[in-house]
């Protein structure tokens, strides 16, 4: 299921990237045309009535070009958002996480700050889908995403949907105790959704010297939480 989601995300990213490339080419072309028209208008005499209509026409064309460039820029911003965000939950997606986590680890190492990673997974999600329908499952993912976005995501913290019912939370400037407290809060709030989550915690530098090792450690601890009966947190001080 996760591998299929990754393949679909990669295909969508390639398509969006191609669209962005075409949009940027159009923006450059229209910018050059705008510059050419602007120079032409400035070169015209200011007063001859015979040229006045040409001036008005060129000004209208320039305004149309400006409007078109604005629309292209807006479309490019929309595509850039889609590249980095999960369409169902509105959270960052795996692609963004894969880019952000190494940068956050590098910054933490350079500044001497701590960094923790949570990997969490909804318990018995397949059974939830089978019992309540896949639409209800999507609504549950959206609700969890909205909570994480509102209460956990910050200018530094990164919350992403990693795939399926699995989420990741990067917590710069958080040691194990602070990360564990956030994990407990997530469990408490999620329990009001009539579900439970299992969470694995790893700390950069202590549990993993690289972003890849950090994630692998947190993922193993998530698996251990599942093996311990679910609805629990497993971390470096367990």
Q: Helix 94-111 vs helix 52-84: angle between axes, to the nearest 10 degrees?
A: 80
The catalytic position among 12, 74, 165, 166 is 165
- Cα-based distances in Å from 178 to 10, 116, 184: 34, 9, 10
Name the CA radius of gyration of the chain, rounded.
25
CA distance 144 to 60: 49
Tokens 């001859």, located at residue:
48
Distance CA 223, CA 201 (A): 11
CA distance 152 to 159: 7
Q: Answer yes or no: 165 catalytic.
A: yes
Strands 233-234 and 197-203: parallel
User: Catalytic residues, which ones?
Assistant: 165
């Amino acid at each position: 299921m996760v591998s299929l989601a990754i393949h679909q995300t990669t295909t969508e990213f390639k398509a969006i990237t191609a669209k962005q490339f075409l949009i940027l080419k159009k923006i450059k072309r229209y910018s050059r045309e705008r510059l050419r028209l602007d120079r032409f208008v400035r070169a015209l005499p200011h007063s001859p009535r015979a040229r006045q209509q040409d001036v008005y026409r060129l000004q209208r064309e320039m305004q149309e070009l400006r409007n078109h460039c604005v629309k292209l820029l807006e479309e490019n911003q929309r595509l850039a958002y889609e590249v980095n965000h999960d369409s169902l939950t509105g959270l960052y997606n795996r692609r963004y996480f894969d880019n952000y986590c190494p940068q956050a680890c590098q910054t933490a190492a350079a500044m001497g700050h701590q960094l923790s990673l949570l990997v969490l997974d909804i318990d018995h999600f397949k059974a939830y889908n089978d019992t309540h329908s896949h639409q209800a499952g999507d609504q549950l993912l959206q609700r969890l995403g909205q909570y994480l976005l509102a209460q956990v995501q910050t200018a530094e913290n990164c919350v992403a949907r990693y795939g399926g019912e699995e989420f990741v939370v990067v917590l710069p400037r958080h040691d194990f105790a602070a990360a564990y407290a956030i994990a407990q809060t997530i469990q408490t709030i999620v329990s009001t959704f009539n579900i439970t989550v299992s969470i694995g915690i790893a700390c950069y530098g202590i549990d993993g010297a690289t972003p890849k090792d950090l994630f692998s450690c947190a993922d193993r601890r998530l698996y251990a939480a599942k093996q311990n009966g679910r609805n629990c947190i497993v971390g470096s001080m367990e």
